[in-house]
Amino acid sequence: MKIDKELLHRFKLFGIGLSIGIALVIFILNGKKSRCSWFPNERVLKIIRQKHLVYSDDLLKQIEAKQIDSSYVNNILLDGNIDFSKSQTKNKPCRRYHIDYYTKEKSSVLQVKICDSVATLSSLKFQ
């Protein structure tokens, strides 16, 4: 089977263009903290982070008693997994979300209530 020289030339040009395009995308996005929010879990976590965060009294007591650190709560809001089966996503006017977070040392569950402009971090329980 003989490959036409013109077709081979087109494949070479396509490969060169593809390589340049990939290199540009890697160069432009390299070092940026760009996250894709295509999936429902990422979208909801992004919405929560963009709202004005209010800590409940119970959660503030845990932070003051040094049981948890506020950076731990921030990590949950970055990398947590929302359990949609335990969440109340259709509640009006405020939705409630159940966020699971697992580390090597411990696992925890954060309850969040999202209203119009405020996200209330209701409770944090360790399992």
Complete domains list, the chain, with CATH? 44-126 (3.30.2310)
- Give me the helices (H) in the chain, please: 5-29, 40-50, 57-64, 70-79
pLDDT digits (tens, 9 = 90+) for 7-38: 889 999 999 999 999 998 888 877 666 666 67
Q: What is the DSSP letter of 92?
A: S
Give how far Cα 19 sits from Cα of 11, 12, 15, 23, Å. 12, 11, 6, 6
pTM over 0.85: no
| pLDDT score for 25 | 85
